[in-house]
């Protein structure tokens, strides 16, 4: 059905285009809204504040529409393109014109105007109506970059104002060890959409513009500038409010732009405040108690989070004359997520009634980005440039994941107080009384037995064994120690039974400059075992500790980038050819580091823990211990400091680039682009944030045969020549330092990137384009240097890794007339040297040891190929029928297929196949067949029907997105060998039979993905209305038909291992949590002056 729709619409658009050409009254060799082959943007004496269509600080093969050597701070009305640029900022506007002569193969530019009309709020919305590109879903931490042409995350470049954004820790070893447990915010940071002037999406290898990482494509953002608003005036003010129901997000954006003489300034301040995205059937639970009780992987509702984003963009420019400009920019944003991981598989609330006795996992994640940029531009014409720009940038990105696991309810076990014991002060005496403000009656019955005034036994709720006067001290900073305290005496100094209350004086003492109170035990007159007898007296505290222990995991992934960049461009004629030359270079230094801070402290502190502390007994002597609780003298806070699992690595990148767009004749053009990258990795070691020594010792250089490493020093064999090499010895430290020196090896990568294009214009309605480009991705620092050591899973570094590479071949045919066009293109992407985690065998870390560690290592193995076709079209119906001016149709389509082909049988399958070759010979074929690429999107079509009134005061668009089902044969389950029926060695050398696991009620039999999307169609309708010049209303209904659907990217984010993003695999319970929102609404209002 999809192919039929596609064929019908494609034929209709092609027919309409041909019809418009046939009926054109005055045909010309060039479309009327396109630049002719004669240059029209030659330098003039007219100043303009018009920015170029391409950021001048980007190495790119895009030509510009404006002379780059012109001053930019003087308003002018002489350039007809000014209004078009202004429309990129404002919502209103009849059409979004595309200059076919400037559009590159596989490239899409999305303007601020388009984002505003679509009410885009994040990276998902940016590509919502694009095909062949989606975001990578990670669950709690949101989106993590993009998926393009079969690859995702670090294999798709992301840049903001010329700076690469933070990469994830992409080592498969790291992902298997840590990523599935929610302790790291291992995502690629995003950008505030309100700051975006243009977003350029390139599909296919694009290292020319993005450098390392752009194997499958890139997304390049350019932020707004004061000159975008100050075209024909000296000030601009805008205030925008928005709201969307899918996550109750409120939007507030204030934009200020102004110019005074030689200065101009732009300020955009944006705040978004909302909660988690509401999945379909979000209100599945009838009340809050039922909601909070639904915990673990079977939870059907999205976990509750409060999500806020605060962003501030400030740009200040100074232009003393027409030829010089200085500017400084600050781009500061923080994305913050707070809430509870109720679906966490080890949620502490384990009982079925979930009576709030065990607590929950509270998270507080942050993604911070701060960029400061200084730039100088010169517009003087010279033989070498028309425009030159020198810039310096300093960007700091921190992705933080913090989780607190504790119980904060009054019913928690740690603060249980069933009798409602509380502290009161009457007549200068502190008393501990129950919820009825009464005291207890005590007797002896195999220990102290307490009853309340209702004669009910309460001994199980009161600590009748702890709270002895000699073990508890009073915090005089919280209680007035000049008063008395009523304690409970069981036996007097001669051990006579008393069972009564007594008011005692508090002895005030000082420890470390702070006052505390002590009530001494009364002594008797007779001795027992050489000591005078003492009374038995205590504080009657509740039986619980009086606080909940808060286990804290606070982990940061830091990326600090400094860049110096030089960009030059020149337009010139050589014989009968036109040239648009761009060249330059950059030097970039990036420090990537990890900081872990694990500790525990007290939370939900109650009065008997906050007002009292332990008088600790050690070596027969008691000492005040404020860090220890009065309850059993337990340590309340423990902090062993900070550490890391990755050594800090500084990356230095030297870049030179050159690009020339050559127009040879009126019908033939060339794009010649080249870039050279030299990437150096410089590892280091920070003693203040150390790597646990055990991860490095014995890694390359083993411990000696006679070096005793593990176990108690008391067990070292004597008289046999053994050397003490336990953890704290110099021997152990020496081995650590020797292995660390071998680990800190420098590595470097060199790559030559190119992008070659051929542009043919045989007629004034057809354009043919050919593209051949390559890209590369240097291994990330964690892929090279990560180390881990455990008898069940160990990782060995690899400083000999090669860079991953890709090549793109693409051909496009564009049929166009005026503002209408249809582009048909076919592409092929070839990938080489994919980095994968490989088993490299078992070996001991001590000579002669029988304990062998199974080591893995990142190695270059796989290759892949992706092929597909794409269609992009737009028909302005007014080009055909003048009475239908303002109506437009659009259609986009992507179909792609791809497979990963390993260089022989993957080593991870060798033992598995050997054990199962007799009972399950079919596994051999599964293991050897090419692997499907999960990052490939299912076949997708997007239809657009819209209308913009000629008055530009109102308009409406309908988008229809149709996504095919992800076929089972095109999906892959990386854990299939641990889920099918098999023989396996589990902690022994003997293989045992293990039955197949179930997924959604069916046994797993092969490597097909466990969760996939079905076909779905979603309809969105968006309208804007501009009743007066300064006011714009925008509103939309999304998922108009309330369709229940699951996207492929959400389906493939469901994990089989780990503690987060899980469902109950056997039954599929919990999958509803991953479904997209049902019908939802967005609206905004914007005032502009």
Q: pLDDT by residue (tens digit) across 254-271?
A: 999 999 999 999 999 999
SS3 580: strand
The pLDDT assigned to 446 comes to: 82
CA quadruple 786, 791, 792, 796: dihedral, nearest 10 = 20
- H/E segment holding residue 1073: none
Yes or no: say if 1065 and 980 are a contact pair by the CB < 8 Å rule.
Answer: no
Report how many helices (DSSP H) and strands (DSSP E) the chain contains, helices first.
14, 53
946 vs 875: CA distance, rounded Å: 10
Tokens 């081995």 — which residue? 735
> What residues does 660 pair with on adjacent strands?
581, 672
Give me the DSSP letters along 105-127.
TTEEEEEHHHHHHTT--SHHHHT
User: Is the predicted pLDDT of residue 880 greater than 70, yes or no?
Assistant: yes
Report whether 405 contacts 551 (CB < 8 A): yes
**pLDDT tens digit sequence for 434-493:** 999 999 999 888 888 999 999 999 999 999 999 999 999 999 999 999 999 999 999 999
pLDDT of residue 92: 32
| SS3 sequence of 648-682 | CEEEEEEEEEEEEEEECCCCEEEEEEEEEEEEEEE
- Write down the pLDDT at residue 838: 87
**Rounded distance, CA 373 to CA 564, Å?**
10
Query: Rounded mean pLDDT of 769-798?
Result: 93
Residues paired with 516 in a beta bridge = 475, 509
Rounded to an integer, what distance in angstroms lies between the CA atom of residue 937 and that of residue 970? 10
DSSP string covering 617-645? EETTEEEEETTB-TTTT-B--EEEEEE-S
Q: Which of 21-25, 416-420, 680-684 has the lowest mean pLDDT?
A: 21-25
The pLDDT of residue 1068 is above 70: yes
Cα–Cα distance between 242 and 249 in angstroms, integer?
Answer: 8
pLDDT over 90 at 63, yes or no: no
What stretches of 785-910 adopt beta strand conformation (E)?
A: 794-796, 804-817, 820-843, 853-876, 887-901
The yes-or-no verdict on residue 95 having pLDDT over 80 is no
Neighbours of 768 (CB within 10 A): 14
**Taking the CB of residue 184, how many other CB atoms lie within 10 A of it?**
24
d(CA 576, CA 939): 45
Lowest-pLDDT range, 171-175, 811-815, 852-856?
Answer: 171-175
Span 678-697, average pLDDT: 94
pLDDT of residue 97: 64
User: What is the distance between the alpha carbons of residues 543 and 541, in angstroms, rounded to a whole number?
Assistant: 6
Tell me the whole-structure pTM to 2 decimals.
0.86
Enumerate the domain spans of the chain: 417-543+611-641, 685-743, 904-934+971-1009
Lowest-confidence region among 155-164, 176-185, 307-316, 397-406: 176-185
| Residue (of 110, 68, 76, 116) closest to 92 by Cα position | 116
Q: So what's the pLDDT on residue 906?
A: 85
At 785, is the secondary structure helix, strand, or coil? helix
CA-nearest of 176, 163, 120, 167 to 146 is 167
Token pair belonging to 321: 């004359």
Confidence of residue 908 (pLDDT cuts 50, 70, 90): confident
* pLDDT (0 to 100) of residue 56: 38
Q: DSSP assignment of 229-240, as one string?
A: H-SSSSEEEEEE
The pLDDT of residue 729: 92
- Count the neighbouring beta carbons within 10 Å of the beta carbon of residue 624: 17
Please give the pLDDT value at position 50. Answer: 40
State residue 85 phi and psi, 5-degree precision: -65, -40
Mean pLDDT calculated for residue range 1004-1024 = 97
pLDDT digits (tens, 9 = 90+) for 526-553: 888 878 899 999 999 999 999 999 999 9
* Among 460, 524, 525, 447, CA closest to 490: 447
78 pLDDT exceeds 80? no
How far apart (Å, rounded) are the C-alpha atoms in residues 793 and 171? 14
More confident residue, 905 or 416: 416
Beta carbons within 10 angstroms of residue 649's beta carbon: 21
Contact yes or no for 147/935 (Cβ under 8 A):
yes
- Rounded to the nearest angstrom, the gap between the alpha carbon of residue 520 and the centroid of all alpha carbons in its chain is 57
Locate tokens 């420890």: which residue? 511
d(CA 385, CA 570): 5
Which neighbouring-strand residues pair with 444?
448
Tokens of 404: 């607190």
Q: Which of 204, 229, 586, 526 is nearest to 389 (CA)?
A: 586
Position 29 pLDDT exceeds 60: no
351: pLDDT confidence band, cut at 50, 70 and 90? very low
pLDDT (mean) for 637-649: 93
**Is there a contact between 210 and 55 (Cβ–Cβ < 8 Å)?**
no
Q: At 160, list the tokens.
A: 């903001």
For residue 412, the model assigns a pLDDT of: 87
pLDDT tens-place string over residues 275-297 = 999 999 999 999 998 998 899 99
DSSP 397-425: EEEEEEEEEE--STTSGGG--TT--EEEE
Average pLDDT over residues 635-661: 95
Q: Kindly tell me the sign of the dihedral angle through the C-alpha atoms of 112, 116, 120, 121.
A: positive
Dump pLDDT digits (tens) for 144-203. 999 999 999 999 999 999 999 999 998 888 887 888 888 899 999 999 999 999 999 999
Q: For the range 451-455, what are the long-range contacts, defined as Cβ-Cβ under 8 Å and sequence gap of 24 or more?
A: 452/419
User: Does 918 score more than 70 pLDDT?
Assistant: yes
Predicted confidence at residue 69, as pLDDT, reads 39
368 touches 334 (CB < 8 A):
yes
Q: Please tell me the distance from the alpha carbon of residue 8 to that of residue 17, in angstroms, as a whole number.
A: 14
The residues, any chain, with a CB within 8 Å of residue 168's CB and separated by 6 or more, are 144, 145, 153, 154, 186, 187, 188, 780
Tokens of 1076: 């997209």
Average pLDDT over residues 850-860: 88
Model confidence at 358, pLDDT cuts 50, 70, 90, reads: low
Closest-CA residue to 317 (of 305, 326, 330): 326
Average pLDDT over residues 875-904: 93
**Cα gap 821→98, rounded to integer Å:** 9
From the list 1008, 990, 1010, 988, the residue with the least C-alpha distance to 999 is 1010
3-state per-residue secondary structure call for 227-287: HHHCCCCCEEEEEEEEEECCCCEEEEEEEEEEEECCEEEEEEEEEEEEECCCCCCCCCCCC
Mean model confidence pLDDT for the chain = 89
Q: Which two tokens stand for residue 230?
A: 């100050």
Left, alpha or beta for 40 (phi > 0: left; psi -120 to 50: alpha)?
Answer: alpha
Does pLDDT of 369 surpass 50?
yes
Mean pLDDT of 783-797: 90
pLDDT digits (tens, 9 = 90+) for 494-521: 999 999 999 999 999 999 999 999 999 9
């Amino acid at each position: 059905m999809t192919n039929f729709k596609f064929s019908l619409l494609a034929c209709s658009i092609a027919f309409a285009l041909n019809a418009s050409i046939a009926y054109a009254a005055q045909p010309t060799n060039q479309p009327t809204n396109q630049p002719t082959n004669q240059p029209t943007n030659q330098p003039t004496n007219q100043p303009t504040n018009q920015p170029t269509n391409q950021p001048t600080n980007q190495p790119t093969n895009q030509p510009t529409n404006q002379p780059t050597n012109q001053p930019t701070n003087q308003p002018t009305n002489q350039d007809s393109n000014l209004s078009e640029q202004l429309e990129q900022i404002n919502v209103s506007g009849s059409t979004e014109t595309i200059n076919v002569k400037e559009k590159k193969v596989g490239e899409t530019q999305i303007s601020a105007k388009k984002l505003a009309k679509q009410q885009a709020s994040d990276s998902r919305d940016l590509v919502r109506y694009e095909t062949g590109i989606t975001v990578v879903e990670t669950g709690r931490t949101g989106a993590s970059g993009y998926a393009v042409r079969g690859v995702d995350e670090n294999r798709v470049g992301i840049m903001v104002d010329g700076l690469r954004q933070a990469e994830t820790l992409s080592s498969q070893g790291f992902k298997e060890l840590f990523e599935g447990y929610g302790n790291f915010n291992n995502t690629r940071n995003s950008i505030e959409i309100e700051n975006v002037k243009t977003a350029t999406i390139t599909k296919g290898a694009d290292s020319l513009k993005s450098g390392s990482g752009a194997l499958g494509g890139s997304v390049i953002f350019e932020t707004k500038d004061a000159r975008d608003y100050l075209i024909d005036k000296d000030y601009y003010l805008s205030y925008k409010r928005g709201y969307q129901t899918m996550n109750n997000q409120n939007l507030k954006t204030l934009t200020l732009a102004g110019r005074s003489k030689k200065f101009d300034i732009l300020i955009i301040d944006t705040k978004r405040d909302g909660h988690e995205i509401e999945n379909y059937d979000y209100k599945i639970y009838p009340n809050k108690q039922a909601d909070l009780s639904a915990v673990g992987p079977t939870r059907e509702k999205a976990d509750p989070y409060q999500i806020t984003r605060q962003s501030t963009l400030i740009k200040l420019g100074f232009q003393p004359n027409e030829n010089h400009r200085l500017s400084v920019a600050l781009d500061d944003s923080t994305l913050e997520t707070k809430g509870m991981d109720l679906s966490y598989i080890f949620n502490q609330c384990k009982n079925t009634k979930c009576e709030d006795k065990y607590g929950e996992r509270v998270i507080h994640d942050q993604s911070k980005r701060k960029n400061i940029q200084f730039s100088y531009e010169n517009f003087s014409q010279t033989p070498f440039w028309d425009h030159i720009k020198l810039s310096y940038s300093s960007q700091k990105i921190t992705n933080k994941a913090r989780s607190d696991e504790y119980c904060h309810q009054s019913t928690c076990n740690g603060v249980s107080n069933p009798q409602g014991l509380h502290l009161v002060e009457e007549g200068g005496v502190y008393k501990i009384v129950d919820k009825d403000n009464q005291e207890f009656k005590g007797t002896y019955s195999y220990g102290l037995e307490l009853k309340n005034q209702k004669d009910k036994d309460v001994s199980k709720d009161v600590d009748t064994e702890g709270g002895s006067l000699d073990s508890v001290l009073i915090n005089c900073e919280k209680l007035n120690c000049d008063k008395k305290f009523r304690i409970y005496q069981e036996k007097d100094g001669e051990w006579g039974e008393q069972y009564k209350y007594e008011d005692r004086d508090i002895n005030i003492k000082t420890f470390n400059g702070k006052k505390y109170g002590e009530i001494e035990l009364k002594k008797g007159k007779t001795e027992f075992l050489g000591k005078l007898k003492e009374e038995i007296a205590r504080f009657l505290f509740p039986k619980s500790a009086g606080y909940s222990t808060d286990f804290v995991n606070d982990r940061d992934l830091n990326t600090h980038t400094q860049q110096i960049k030089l960009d030059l461009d020149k337009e010139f004629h050589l014989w009968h050819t036109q040239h648009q030359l761009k060249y330059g270079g950059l030097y970039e230094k990036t420090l990537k580091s990890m900081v872990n801070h694990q500790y525990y402290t007290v939370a939900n502190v109650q009065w008997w823990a906050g007002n009292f502390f332990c008088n600790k007994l050690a070596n027969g002597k008691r000492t005040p211990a404020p860090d220890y609780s009065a309850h059993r003298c337990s340590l309340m806070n423990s902090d062993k400091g900070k550490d890391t699992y990755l050594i800090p690595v500084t990356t230095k990148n030297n870049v030179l680039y050159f690009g020339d767009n050559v127009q040879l004749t009126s019908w033939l053009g060339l794009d010649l682009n080249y870039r050279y990258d030299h990437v150096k990795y410089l590892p280091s070691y920070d003693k203040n944030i150390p790597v646990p020594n055990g991860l490095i010792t014995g890694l390359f250089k083993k411990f000696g045969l006679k070096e005793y490493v593990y176990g108690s020093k008391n067990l070292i064999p004597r008289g046999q020549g053994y050397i003490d090499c336990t953890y704290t010895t110099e021997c152990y430290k020496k081995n650590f330092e020797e292995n660390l020196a071998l680990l800190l090896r420098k590595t470097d990568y060199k790559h030559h990137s190119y992008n070659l294009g051929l542009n043919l214009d045989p007629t004034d309605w057809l354009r043919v384009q050919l593209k051949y480009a390559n890209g590369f991705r240097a291994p990330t620092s964690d892929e090279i240097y990560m180390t881990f050591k455990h008898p069940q899973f160990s990782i060995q570094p690899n400083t000999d890794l090669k860079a991953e590479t890709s090549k793109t071949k693409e051909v496009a045919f564009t049929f166009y007339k005026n503002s209408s066009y249809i582009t048909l293109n076919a592409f092929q992407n070839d990938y080489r040297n994919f980095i994968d985690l490989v088993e490299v065998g078992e070996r001991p870390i001590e000579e002669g040891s029988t304990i062998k560690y199974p080591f893995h290592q990142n190695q270059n193995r796989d290759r892949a190929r992706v092929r597909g076709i794409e269609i992009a079209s737009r028909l302005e119906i007014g080009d055909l029928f003048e009475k239908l001016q303002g109506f437009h149709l659009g259609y986009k389509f992507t179909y792609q297929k791809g497979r990963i082909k390993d260089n022989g049988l993957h080593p991870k399958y060798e033992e598995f196949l050997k054990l199962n070759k007799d009972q399950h010979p079919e596994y051999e074929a599964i293991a050897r067949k090419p692997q499907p690429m999960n990052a490939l999107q299912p076949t997708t079509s997007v239809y657009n029907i819209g209308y913009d009134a000629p008055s530009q005061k109102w308009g409406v668009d309908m988008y229809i997105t149709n996504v095919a089902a992800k076929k089972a044969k095109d999906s892959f389950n990386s854990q299939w060998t641990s889920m099918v029926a098999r023989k396996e060695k589990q902690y022994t050398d003997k293989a045992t039979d293990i039955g197949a696991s179930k997924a959604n009620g069916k046994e797993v039999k092969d490597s097909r993905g466990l969760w996939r999307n079905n076909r779905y169609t979603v309809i969105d309708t968006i309208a804007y209305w501009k009743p007066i010049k300064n006011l714009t209303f925008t509103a939309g209904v999304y998922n108009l038909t309330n369709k229940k659907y699951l996207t492929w990217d959400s389906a493939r984010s469901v994990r089989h291992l780990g503690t987060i993003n899980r469902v109950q695999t056997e039954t599929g319970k919990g999958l509803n949590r991953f479904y997209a929102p049902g019908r939802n609404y967005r609206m905004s209002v914007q005032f502009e002056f």
